[in-house]
Amino acid sequence: MKAVHFGAGNIGRGFIGLLLSQAGYEVCFVDVNEAFVAQLKERGEYPVTLASDGQETVLVKNVTALSSVTHADEVAAALAEADLVTTAVGVSILKHIAGVVAEGIQRRVAVSDAPLHVIACENAIGGSAQLKELVYAKLDEATRAKADASVAFPNAAVDRIVPLQQHEDILKVVVEPFYEWVVDASQMIPGYTPVEGVHYVENLEPYIERKLFTVNTGHCSAAYLGYLRGYETIQQAMADEGLTGLVREVLEETGAVLVQKHGFDKAEHSKYIEKNLERFRNPALTDEVSRVGRSPIRKLSPNDRLVSPALQAYDRGLSYKALTRSMAGALLFQANDDPEAVELQAAIAELGAEAALTKYTGLAADHEVHQSVMAEYAKLK
């Protein structure tokens, strides 16, 4: 079985590539990072270490790599022959890989009607659907019709904390032991072969919302509030009990929405929140506040981890104050090497915080959620 995986970064190597290789796939990574590509190609394996007491290391074998910059034609050929395509490049990068994915699909459906699943493993609601739209925009009508019959883009939720890596071996990845990869089974082609380790569910929405609005909402809240208190790592921030209390408050707000909307058991959900706070604290990891807070414009977008649960809480008459405190924190997050943080600060300087908030969140200035963010912003500033 052959898989083509876009993005040989932290999640690509530390989670998706590892799982696919263990499930018996030959994994071809595709990346723009020539150093990763050269090493993966030459060695055909790389080490993944679990950040736990035992520090167990596994060698991920049966891998290779192609550069999407210099070998686009070979990438399209590999896609045409693959059984599975996955991505972990960042949701905003999907537009850059859509062209080569479209080319691969075009070549494939011209000669074969064998099923192909394309799964975007990004932190976003409907990541695969977004990729499908970008790819289909590049296909002609006849190819689209053929692809409708044999190519599926099931949405997914992926969860594993993989911090920035700094090792002598550039391929080595240290990951937390926990992982969860949930795929929408209702969007799979009937008769598919399940990948071992993947959890297939008929309705993805409760899973992706529980993950994004707990793990990611909580994590970015710890980052933004931690940044404002001068912490450099999430571990330092989470050692501050006052800050952990604020993060818990945020997760109680998203939890109330999730319990009401999806019928999760309240006590079980409280345990899920505590388990995630524990994951953030993992002393065997060093996770930079700047990584977890990265891309604040994406994190403030209407369908993402802050605005979406706040609006859902507002619509249900539930509390959203702590969520708006995290949004205000995002407005105050400065990182010179993060293009989105730089753009956001420039927009605030040019338009003012109120208008910048509307621009990136879609919240009208007279909306109560917008007003609550501005009140929290004034306090945090």
Known binding positions for NAD(+): 3-14
Q: Where are the alpha helices (DSSP H) in 112-240?
A: 127-136, 141-150, 205-210, 217-228, 234-238
Q: Does residue number 294 form part of the binding site for ligand F6P (CB under 6 A)?
A: yes
CB of 380 to ligand NAI, least distance (A): 25
**Sheet with 180-184, side-by-side order of all strands:** 156-159, 180-184, 199-201
State the Cα–Cα distance between residues 13 and 246, nearest whole angstrom: 33
Q: Quick one: 184 or 287, whose CB is closer to ligand F6P?
A: 287
Q: What is the DSSP letter of 54?
A: T
CB of 264 to ligand NAI, least distance (A): 21
Contact residues for 352 (Cβ-Cβ < 8 A; gap 6+): none
State the Cα–Cα distance between residues 371 and 146, nearest whole angstrom: 49
294 binds, among ligand NAI, ligand F6P, none (CB under 5 to 8 A by kind): ligand F6P
Q: Are strands 156-159 and 180-184 parallel, antiparallel or unpaired?
A: antiparallel
CB of 117 to ligand F6P, least distance (A): 21
State the Cα–Cα distance between residues 210 and 259, nearest whole angstrom: 9
For the chain, state the CA radius of gyration.
Answer: 21
Residue at shortest CB range from ligand NAI:
9
CB 15 within 8 A of CB 94: no
CB 112 within 8 A of CB 104: no
Part of the chain binding ligand NAI (CB under 6 A), chosen from 9-17, 138-146, 261-269, 358-366: 9-17
CB of 278 to ligand F6P, least distance (A): 14
Q: Does residue number 210 form part of the binding site for ligand F6P (CB under 6 A)?
A: no
219 binds, among ligand NAI, ligand F6P, none (CB under 5 to 8 A by kind): ligand F6P
**Sheet with 45-50, side-by-side order of all strands:** 57-61, 45-50, 173-175
Q: Binding to ligand F6P (CB under 6 A): which residues in 146-185? A: 159-161
CB of 299 to ligand NAI, least distance (A): 10
Q: Does residue number 10 form part of the binding site for ligand NAI (CB under 6 A)?
A: yes
Q: Does residue number 335 form part of the binding site for ligand F6P (CB under 6 A)?
A: no
Give the residues lining the site for ligand F6P (CB under 6 A). Answer: 123, 159-161, 215-216, 219, 292, 294
Give the residues lining the site for ligand NAI (CB under 6 A). Answer: 6-12, 30-33, 36, 68, 88-91, 93, 96-97, 122-123, 158-162
